[in-house]
Structure 1
């Protein structure tokens, strides 16, 4: 019988536990939780542990449970991947290995995917948008599978009904960076994470438009002055100016968003 191998702070054993049991951070009852299946659990929280998301994490307003994929691997070396069927370059994460990690991540979570989405970060997935972030934030939590190598055996994605989500039309070496970006966009929408909840209603994409320009002191800098309307004290005029600027920017920079916005206002 093979003896468990040590992988840093996590030793492989028959009893596998998510990272939630290995942290001294407080956790409020019912806090929104992200479970991340990854070969690099030490990549988390990463940037999510800083600034407002990090403060909220330390306060227990949301929770992060990295789940190391390696201990679920097969054989002496805990293999998690194998060569692609039909030949080709690279390696593919095995269905049986990923399935065990997904089963672990599902413990204690609702079976209703609207309450707890299970996603795979993939360049072939549906585009991640602000609407996606709002949908995830409205759930109880989220499980994220971070791919590596050439990808994941299709059968496990089909068997578990995993939703594929893409950060953009480009390819990364793994899903961890994209997962952190998606989590940042989601967590900041949770109650209490941002000091001013209204700010999430005015920023880019929240209303189908890009955000208007911002200015602050000094009133003039290198010959460039703050638009007078912003200093007028006329809140109605300020709001009209900001809406006009948002529409101009969207039409110029994102014709796709502008077309969708116009269809929604017709």
Structure 2
């Protein structure tokens, strides 16, 4: 019996390493399977985080663009408020009849430009004794061009007669550009001054020839890039600065001819001296 027990114990001890090896292999396989699942889960999470990071960066860029746009719009509103404040301060100094005529013209223009005003493509304000109508470049011209588009001709026909019909006022056509350079595609070569001047003259000719405004009531002015309404710090600012202004301003008083110069003293004496008798 003792020998049998001893043999059984020996066999058990001989099998023990194999049981341990099998257990180790089993544990390793389970651990490997769990590790692979954990790695797969981590990779999936990393991809998700990368997508979320990309979406966040795109959203941040979008918010930055929106913030810049709102900042520029705030600058425009501040300038308009300053102009309105200055205009209100000067109203008491202006002749009441002229001011009433400009306000009547403004009341007629606002419904005609309702769409453009709501889109921010046109601005209408009373400032410094003038009624100023500002129109975005793309409403009238092709980029870098000086010829009116069909839509621009229609728009000027719509508003030109209202401005030209105000008695005692001139219509100044003031064109503004940005810092343009000559390119093969540019229809008007040279500097921004030349482009703005060409646009102003084009509009003056249209108002005189087509809308039939009296030529003595029209003034053309090209300001180039040198009178921006917002700082030129980006594409949106440059687009805002490219504009055409129709300014309704009081006509100067007619000049009186100067009095004739006094006659020389010798001529006066000659007139008084009686002629000798014959």
**TM-score computed with the length of structure 1 as normaliser:** 0.29
User: Between Structure 1 and Structure 2, whose CA radius of gyration is higher?
Assistant: 2
Q: TM-score, normalised by structure 2?
A: 0.28
More helix by share: 2
When you count strand as a share of all residues, which structure comes out higher? Answer: 1
